[in-house]
Chains A and B, each alone.
Chain A
Amino acid sequence: MIWQLDLILLVFTVACAIGALVIKDLLGSVIMLGAFSLFMCLLWIEMGAVDVAFTEASVGAGITTVFFVIAVFKTERRSKD
């Protein structure tokens, strides 16, 4: 555990989460969610939970991004609110 690295990764994770919430373009929001998963995965690795990080990388950044992109294309790209 290096607390400086921990802090930097945590700041990036929170920034990606806020970005995914505020972006109006839903496709961009999905990509921000993928970036959030990537930083979450790095955070898990840094804290020593390699198995959880593996699941986060394969499911969070891989499969759910594909599913969300398909869902965005099937509905509409602009968010109303």
Chain B
Amino acid sequence: MIHEQESIVIKTVARLLVPFIQLFALYVIMHGHSSPGGGFQGGVILAASFILLSIAYGLDEVKRRFSIKALTVLTSAGVFLYAGTGVLCLLLGENFLDYGVLPVVEPRGMGMLAIEIGVGITVMAAMVSIFHDLLDFE
């Protein structure tokens, strides 16, 4: 359904905006534990940047760089990061997702950050693959 646009205005504005949207999304994910925002919101904003890119440059261009297989792997990798952090705490002798025992500086903040990054990756990949599936559906 979506093909490459002829309009140079749309393409230029999309190309200029996408890096700033992605930077803002990473900021929202990184500051999720101390300010409003978090993994879910940051992942949705990151997915919105890819949706803007595929509206402006056509779906095939985005699919060439970001295949369905990569999206599936990313969806699973985020869940794996979330559960892996929890199981790591379990292996170190505490409860599931009890970040206090992680062997890093500032273990609670870092544990929460790992969770947020996992949620962000999963939400981004799931939203973009829903978008691709909706467009491919006949």
Mark A residues whose CB is within 8 Å of B. Answer: 50-51, 53-55, 58-59, 62-63, 66-67, 70-71, 73-74
Cα distance, A71 to B137, chains bound together (Å): 10
Q: Which of B33-41, B63-71, B109-117 contacts A (4 or more CB under 8 A)?
A: B33-41
**A67-B131 contact in complex given A54-B36, A74-B137, C-beta closer than 8 Å:** yes
B38 touches A58 (CB 8 A): no
Interface size on B, residues (CB 8 A): 18
A70 touches B36 (CB 8 A): no
Cα distance, A71 to B133, chains bound together (Å): 11
Number of interchain pairs (Cβ within 8 Å): 41
B36 touches A66 (CB 8 A): no
Q: Using Cβ atoms and an 8 Å threshold, which residues of chain A touch B51?
A: 63, 66
CB-CB nearest in chain B for A51: B36
Q: Using Cβ atoms and an 8 Å threshold, which residues of chain B touch A59?
A: 41, 44
Contacts A/B (CB < 8 Å), 23 sampled:
A51-B36, A51-B38, A53-B36, A54-B37, A55-B44, A58-B41, A58-B45, A59-B41, A62-B44, A63-B44, A63-B47, A63-B51, A63-B127, A66-B51, A66-B131, A67-B131, A67-B134, A70-B1, A70-B131, A70-B134, A70-B135, A73-B1, A74-B137
